[in-house]
Homo-oligomer: A and B are copies of this chain.
């Protein structure tokens, strides 16, 4: 036991003295700002010290932790499923949006907005048990490839953000996902991809129902939307599920504006971060005019509100988790 303790002490000392917690971030002001903040809220001698129980960090998923182009990855899964279902049962296409989706009209789909996308997602996802659905997503995520980059979707998580998540957890933060994406869709892969367990995933949700199906107690996915975790829904979802105001919040679009606004208001140290997609070479460059990840207010108001605008091209020396690019 004494030997074990001594080894642990040595590891702790060498670890903190040598390791860079954010090696994929360039050594510039953005990285320094993050490290300074985390250092000040975790130092018991600092006036900014925050107890571990209040160290709550929340992150959007699409465009913040992984890519979202050409469209949300969940939508690509949903379109596959919707086409399969509509081929067997065309009357599930109960709206113009659903008909466009099944016909592969991606422009119409993209223009249908967050609610249209959710309509497609919910229509394509309903009718399975949660367990069967999760298994189906897990199978898809292991085999499907991105339409233009031709790599698995989980290779398109952002290495710098994975490092940030781990850094925060190592410093006593609880890290949550707060995404417009579907809660059961995300849970199928986020624990492996991000180290975030199911209970720390907040997302949009279809209607679910408990029933005993052929003797087996089951949670079923029904048609309909129970909760849209976007825009003003994000603070509501955080309050409902966590019951504490986060002190660290990361997003990339105006869908994250209210979450950033709320979490960075009030007393005590608070950190707002926006991933700005500036890198057309390694990733995509978009903001004000994009149908996914549209960023207007965040760009216009973020700096005055003290939020860090992360410039992908300048601040990250590596983008993808799946390849060193």
Contacts and interface: CB of A to CB of B under 8 A. Distances in A.
Interface of A: 1-2, 4-6, 9, 53, 130, 174, 183-184, 187, 197-199, 201, 205, 208-212, 216-217, 219, 232-236, 239-244, 258, 261-262, 265-266
A199, A209, A258, A265: most-surrounded residue (chain B CB, <10 A): A199
A254 to B, nearest CB: 14
A241 B199 contact: yes
Contact of A210 (B4, B174, B198, B258): B258
Given A1-B5, A199-B244, A219-B239, 4 more contacts: A183-B243, A187-B243, A198-B244, A217-B235
A210 B232 contact: yes
Nearest to A261: B217
Contact of A236 (B184, B210, B232): B210
Contacts of A130: 239
A197 B258 contact: no
Q: Which of A197, A235, A240, A244 has the most chain B CB within a 10 Å cutoff?
A: A240
A130 B236 CA distance: 10
- Give the 10 A-B CB pairs with smallest separation, nearest first: A198-B243, A5-B5, A217-B262, A210-B232, A210-B235, A217-B265, A219-B239, A199-B242, A187-B243, A208-B236
Contacts of A6: 1-2
Contacts of A212: 261
Contacts of A233: 210
29 contacts: A1-B6, A2-B5, A2-B6, A4-B5, A5-B5, A130-B239, A174-B199, A183-B240, A183-B243, A187-B243, A197-B243, A198-B244, A199-B241, A199-B242, A199-B243, A205-B240, A209-B236, A210-B234, A210-B258, A210-B262, A211-B232, A212-B261, A217-B235, A217-B261, A217-B265, A217-B266, A219-B236, A219-B239, A241-B241
Question: Which of the listed residues A187, A261, A262 has the most CB atoms from chain B within 10 Å of its own CB?
Answer: A262
A118 to B, nearest CB: 16
A205 B241 CA distance: 11
A281 to B, nearest CB: 37
Contacts of A235: 210, 217, 219
A240 B206 CA distance: 10
Nearest to A184: B243
